[in-house]
Amino acid sequence: MQLTLAPLTRSEIAIALDILAFKPANINTASLKTAMKLDNAAAVYAQRAVKAAKIKIPIWRHYFETIKPGDVRTDRIFREWKEAAEHLRNDVVSRAGWFSMPSLALPAKQPIPAITSPRNLVIWFSIRLVANRQARFFVRCKLCNEFAVRKRSTAAYCGSRCQSLAKIEATYKDRRADFSEWLLSQPTDRWLPPRMEMRRILAEGHRSATGPQPQSNLQTQPS
């Protein structure tokens, strides 16, 4: 038997990128809000998916109920999305593997996947990304470590912003100049990747402790 699986659509890719971006270090108000936003979007997607099978009852989290005292609903949602996001990241990076199909909703002209949980959703996305070789266009940025979709599978950065910053850093390195000098010259409200932001903070602390240092002759402007 051979299965034909449709590629992910633009709207599905947008959902996948939102899931890939969910990397909370711990549970807090902001991460809970993001998890609930993902959950609401997935619930809408799941119900639309079974519409062709004329299933009207809600299928998203139909199994969801408190299983023990203290098992807070929002905490469970947070944990499930954190685990699902990690699962999807691993699948995108590996770009191959064995997958379990989600349950199918019938009757319909074509079987419709019954998406009932975050894990179901990322498995369904992973299967189609790998089957249609779309996973290769999901690039993990070498600078900020975030995922993005690029036209070239060989792209190393998520976009022109990180590519430009990496080029500036490489120029300083090639000329054996102090990159901290450039970091300290940037406005404090300018976005920098986490690694560069940490380096800027350390450089600011060092400058406060030792006083301003002579500037080098290297003048590299961001493109």
Same domain for 95 and 196, yes or no, is no
Asked if residue 109 has pLDDT above 60, the reply is: yes
Domain that holds residue 192: 160-210
Average pLDDT of the segment spanning 37-44: 94
Domain count, the chain: 2
**Is the residue at 39 inside a domain?**
yes
Q: What is the pLDDT of residue 112?
A: 81
How sure is the predictor about 222, in pLDDT bands with cuts at 50, 70 and 90?
very low
State how far the Cα of 29 lies from the Cα of 95, in Å rounded to an integer: 33
Question: Between 118-131 and 10-20, two packed helices, what is the crossing angle to 10 degrees?
Answer: 120
Same domain for 104 and 205, yes or no, is no
Same domain for 182 and 78, yes or no, is no
Within 10 angstroms of residue 15's Cβ, the number of other Cβ atoms is: 19
**Is the residue at 23 inside a domain?**
yes
More confident residue, 1 or 202: 202
**Is the residue at 111 inside a domain?**
yes
Q: How far is CA 89 from the centre of its chain?
A: 7
The strand pairing partners of 104, in sequence order, are 113
Q: Is 149 helix (H, G, I), strand (E, B) or coil?
A: strand
Same domain for 15 and 82, yes or no, is yes
Tell me the percentage of the chain whose pLDDT exceeds 70: 90
**Is the residue at 221 inside a domain?**
no
Both structure tokens of 17 = 């990128």
Q: What is the pLDDT of residue 223?
A: 41
Instruction: List pLDDT tens digits, range 2-28.
Output: 778 899 999 999 999 999 999 998 899
Cα-based distances in Å from 216 to 6, 172, 182, 213: 55, 11, 10, 9
More confident residue, 208 or 220: 208
More confident residue, 191 or 220: 191
Mean predicted lDDT score pLDDT of the chain:
87
Average pLDDT of the segment spanning 185-191: 90
More confident residue, 63 or 121: 121
Bond prior to 69 in cis (omega within 30° of 0):
no
Average pLDDT of the segment spanning 81-108: 88
Question: Between 10-20 and 73-94, two packed helices, what is the crossing angle to 10 degrees?
Answer: 110
Asked if residue 126 has pLDDT above 90, the reply is: yes
The pairs formed by 180-186 with CB atoms below 8 angstroms and a separation of 24 or more are 180/206, 181/213, 181/215, 181/216, 181/218, 182/220
121: nearest Cα among 64, 41, 24: 41
More confident residue, 109 or 216: 109
How sure is the predictor about 69, in pLDDT bands with cuts at 50, 70 and 90?
low
- Residue ending a domain, among 117, 149, 181, is 149
- Residue ending a domain, among 149, 177, 202, is 149
Q: What is the pTM of this model?
A: 0.81
Average pLDDT of the segment spanning 135-148: 94
Q: What is the pLDDT of residue 198?
A: 92
